[in-house]
Amino acid sequence: MKELSSLQIERLKYQPKLPASLAGGINNLTMTEGNKTESVKDAEQIKELFKNTYGKPIVTFNTSTNTEASGKRNIGVILSGGQAPGGHNVIAGLYDALKQANPENKLYGFLGGPSGIIDGNYIEFTDEKINSYRNTGGFDIIGSGRTKLETEEQFQKSLKVCKDLGISGVVIIGGDDSNTNAAMLAEWFVKNNADIQVIGCPKTIDGDLKNDQIEISFGFDTATKTYAELVGNILRDANSAKKYWHFIKLMGRSATHVGLEVALQTQPNITLISEEVEAKKLSLNSIVNYMADIVAKRAEMGKNFGIALIPEGLIEFIPEIKAMISNLNDTLAELENDASYKNADENTKFDIIKNKLNSEDSKVFTSLPVMIKQQLLMDRDPHGNVQVSKIETEKLLIEMVNTKLNEMKKEGKYNGKFSTQCHFFGYEGRCAFPSNFDADYCYSLGYNAFALIKFGLTGYLSSVKNLSLPASQWVAGGVPLTMMMNMEKRHGAFKPVIKKALVELDGPVFKKLEQNREIWAYQDKYLFPGSIQYFGPSSVCDLTTETLKLENASKLAAV
Q: Which amino acids are annotated catalytic?
A: 206
Q: What single letter denotes the amino acid at residue 306?
A: G
Among residues 54, 52, 58, 95, which one has the least CA distance to residue 74? 95
Partner residues linked to 198 by β-bridges: 170
Task: Judge whether 323 and 365 are in contact, CB under 8 Å.
Answer: no
Q: Residue 390 has what DSSP assignment?
A: G
Backbone angles phi, psi at 336, to 5 degrees: -55, -40
Given phi > 0 = left and psi -120 to 50 = alpha, else beta, which region is 123? beta
Instruction: Tell the burial category of 12 from Cβ atoms under 10 Å away from its Cβ (0-12, 13-18, 19+).
Output: middle
Among residues 272, 221, 241, 210, which one has the least CA distance to residue 529? 221
Identify each DSSP E strand in 80-166 by its residue range: 106-110, 122-124
Q: How far apart are CA 518 and CA 425, in angstroms?
A: 25
Q: How far apart are CA 334 and CA 321, in angstroms?
A: 20
Partner residues linked to 484 by β-bridges: none
Among residues 447, 459, 484, 439, which one has the least CA distance to residue 200? 459
Query: How far, in whole angstroms, is CA 432 from its chain's centroid?
Result: 15
**475-480/460-465 β-pairing:** antiparallel
Q: How far apart are CA 118 and CA 155, in angstroms?
A: 8
